[in-house]
Structure 1
Amino acid sequence: MSMSGRIGRIFDKFMGGRGEHSITVPVMDGALKPNNYLERIASVSMVEAADNLTIGGGQVLLTSGNRLVELHDSGSTSIRSTFDAEITFLSASPQGALALGLDRLGIAIVGGRHHGKRLAANPSGQQLNCPTAAVFLDEDTLVVCNGSSAHSALEWSRDLLNLGRSGSVVRLDLGSGTASLIKGGLGFPSGVAVAGAGKLVVAEAWKHRLLTLDIAGGDCIAVVADLPAYPGRIQPASQTGYWLTMFAVRSQLQEFVLREDRYRREMMKTIAPEYWVAPALSSGRSFKEPLQAGSVIRLGIHKPWAPSRSYGLLLRLDDSFQPVWSAHSRADGQRHGITSCVETGDRLLVASKGRGEVLALHHLSPTEPDDLSVLMGSAA
């Protein structure tokens, strides 16, 4: 950063919060206007810590902790296999090979020409201790997001509170097992998809933005900035555009805490992680949690517009990555912590990890329908 840039940041901080030091959060409006769609759509199955939906070999797959699970048309599930660490991402190649991220351990390949291969947490000196998302470029090449070199994927809130900027995007040659860095110094990259020839789109959670990234050179451009929530997995939609899951929402209190270094250090040192002033995949289960007083509950009613540590949010983006539609589960809802989605037939399956539930959106139009019954199909 140039000297003028550093001086500008110091001046912004001195002036009480401008630029990067502002504690304002963008208003959810327009395509992100709050609604109750996620609370009203159909439930497919209850699966503890449901996450990482994908299609592999024509079968809907998801993860639950360290288990790889098959989701059947009836909504029933069966365990395909278990692993020795929590599965943090699941990606399928066009020919049905699966890549699984294993927290702290690296990458496992199931099926395809590289079946049984394991890549340790530091192949070729590149960190894969915190794998968060991946996409196959071809049957021999995998691009992986590593959220943080300092913390595991399960410690994402600790990385946020430590202002983590040690994430990276890494290219893996599955044949040789070698890894090369595409881009480092990222604030918890948590989603990746192919975005045209030689290009990727990457969700950078702690900077609340989407980046397009050149695979060969690592050059990046912010295509969406200052989102009101933390972006996670992103994948192309079948018709046009992309689906983006948002695993937690931002708040002014959280933005304030991120700028108070002494408070954050003391909080992390003396308070259990589940009670930190930090975003979460679910909330409201203990009176010890922050934000359980004031305007949260009034006259015995949990207000939908109340401040919340957790939230449910799914975005539909156009081909330019601009939001055109959204589905919400607000503060008074339960389907929070939306971490992944996948299209199958005429449905979009959505994983609420905070709730432990797989949902089904029956209408896949890139814009919001006028009639909610059209959106929800048989769930109306």
Structure 2
Amino acid sequence: MILDPILDLFRGRAVTIPPMDGAFRPDTRLDEAPLLAALPEPDTLASIHGTLVAGSGNALFTVAADGGVAVRETFPAPVTAVAADPAGDLVVGLETGRLVIGGREERLPDAIRCITALAFGPDGTLWLANGSAVHSPSEWAADLMGQGASGSLWKREAGTFRQVAGDLAFPCGLVADGDGVLVSESWRHRLVRVDGRTGARSTVVDQLPGYPATIAPAAGGGAWLCLFAPRNRLVEFVLQETDYRREMMQQVPPAYWIAPSLSSGRSFLEPLQCGGIRTMGLHKPWAPSRSYGMVVRLDADHRPVSSLHSRAGGQRHGTRSAVEHDGRLIVAAKGGNCLVAIDIGTGTGMGAGH
């Protein structure tokens, strides 16, 4: 019917996503940034008492200023989160839902099985993000396509973990501030602040153009927020089609789902990406894509003010983690198998705008 497109605006079937404009205006600075080190699928970064460490597979690596890498410690499962307590003990979350503190495994409540982020508050309190009650961290795409919202936020008090908030849509990043914590809620494309005493939450940033991952404090106030994949209309449409989505998940290998990805363009079996195709052998950088790279600078009030990008035609996608270290912003591109370094002091456009 001719009226259907108009009526769909009121029926709630219109597929819209926020534009990449203003603070999110695309550029190519992540692809132009100097390569620091090549690592297979780096997933997490941390600056531990003056040392840069990166999680890749089952190992934690130390990364030197010149890009040299060395194995610091290995684990029985892939590393999914890392932090250091005020005393210097390393706290590591694993794919299996285990938590290792100072080399010893910590006993956790049975509900914690998907450790996606760790952070210490100013008072030394350890916060933990449990991404899902159903899936492991590596099964994030299945959690999204299943419209999961079973994540939770936990706080360690007197050696025991207490759940502070539940029903979160894959919490993936944490920054503690005072008596609360800032949480990136991936599937709802937003940042929320959760009160550490009551669990009350308030939206800080909404309608992000991608799926937020880790958050790291920035020198001088504010923070760096990674978006590990973009939103696009094709994926948003599939999320509305329950029967199609369930059949796709049952019959199609996960790598070829119509879903966000940490990398794309490596197989002809991938979906067409809503127009993200090649023209004369080149991937159109302006086309919608299943994968992307973006790091957003937030000001002291956690408002987006600028961003760095690896666009659809770039290679440094799947930006899962970023951290400031020795005056540089270090970014882990899991889909690009590398770490890049950007000089914050001299890098263009690193301030309040482009």
Interval containing the TM-score (normalised by the shorter chain) = over 0.9
Q: Partners in 1 of 2:141 and 2:332 — Cα distance?
A: 20
Q: Is the 8 A contact 1:337 1:352 kept in 2?
A: yes
Matched, 1:182 2:169: no
Q: Partners in 2 of 1:346 and 1:292 — Cα distance?
A: 37
Q: Partners in 1 of 2:132 and 2:280 — Cα distance?
A: 43
Structure 2 gap ranges (5+): 1-5
Q: Partners in 2 of 1:295 and 1:251 — Cα distance?
A: 10
Q: Which residue identity is paired with 2:320?
A: T
Q: Which moved more, 1:86-95 or 1:154-163?
A: 86-95
Q: Partners in 1 of 2:124 and 2:343 — Cα distance?
A: 34
Deviations 1:298-324 (A, max 9, x none): 122211011211000000001111110
Q: Is the 8 A contact 2:149 2:170 kept in 1?
A: yes
The number of residues matched between the two structures is: 348
2:3 maps to what in 1? none
Q: Is the 8 A contact 1:324 1:367 kept in 2?
A: no
Matched, 1:304 2:291: no
Q: Is the 8 A contact 1:148 1:168 kept in 2?
A: yes
Q: Which residue identity is paired with 1:340?
A: S
1:100 maps to what in 2? 92
Deviations 1:172-226 (A, max 9, x none): 23x53x211110000000001013x212110000000000110011011001111
Q: Give the Å deviation of 1:363.
A: 2.1
Q: Give the Å deviation of 1:98.
A: 1.6
2:272 maps to what in 1? 291
RMSD: 2.3
TM superposition outliers: structure 1 runs of 4+ over 6 Å: none
TM norm structure 1: 0.87
Matched, 1:160 2:152: no
Q: Give the Å deviation of 1:51.
A: 2.2
1:320 maps to what in 2? 301
Q: Is the 8 A contact 1:93 1:138 kept in 2?
A: no
Matched, 1:253 2:245: no
Name the CA shift for 1:253/1:288 in 2 (closer, same or farther; >3 Å): same
1:54 maps to what in 2? 46
Q: Is the 8 A contact 1:291 1:309 kept in 2?
A: no
Q: Which residue identity is paired with 1:312?
A: G
Q: Is the 8 A contact 1:105 1:129 kept in 2?
A: yes
Deviations 1:126-151 (A, max 9, x none): x2210000101268631100000000
Pick from 311, 327, 340: which aligns with 1:359? 340
Q: Partners in 2 of 1:191 and 1:20 — Cα distance?
A: 30
1:69 maps to what in 2? 61
Name the CA shift for 1:61/1:256 in 2 (closer, same or farther; >3 Å): same
Q: Partners in 2 of 1:233 and 1:293 — Cα distance?
A: 27
Matched, 1:79 2:63: no
1:160-309 to structure 2, matched below 5 A, reads 160-173=144-157, 176=159, 178-195=160-177, 197-291=178-272, 294=275, 296-309=277-290
Q: Which moved more, 1:132-141 or 1:28-37?
A: 132-141
TM norm structure 2: 0.93
Where 2:240 maps in the other structure, the secondary structure is coil
Q: Give the Å deviation of 1:283.
A: 0.8
1:108-119 to structure 2, matched below 5 A, reads 108-110=100-102, 116-119=103-106
Structure 1 gap ranges (5+): 1-13, 111-115, 376-380
Q: Is the 8 A contact 1:254 1:277 kept in 2?
A: yes
Q: Partners in 1 of 2:83 and 2:45 — Cα distance?
A: 9
Q: Give the Å deviation of 1:295.
A: 5.2
Where 2:8 maps in the other structure, the secondary structure is coil
Name the CA shift for 1:283/1:95 in 2 (closer, same or farther; >3 Å): same
Q: Is the 8 A contact 1:315 1:326 kept in 2?
A: yes
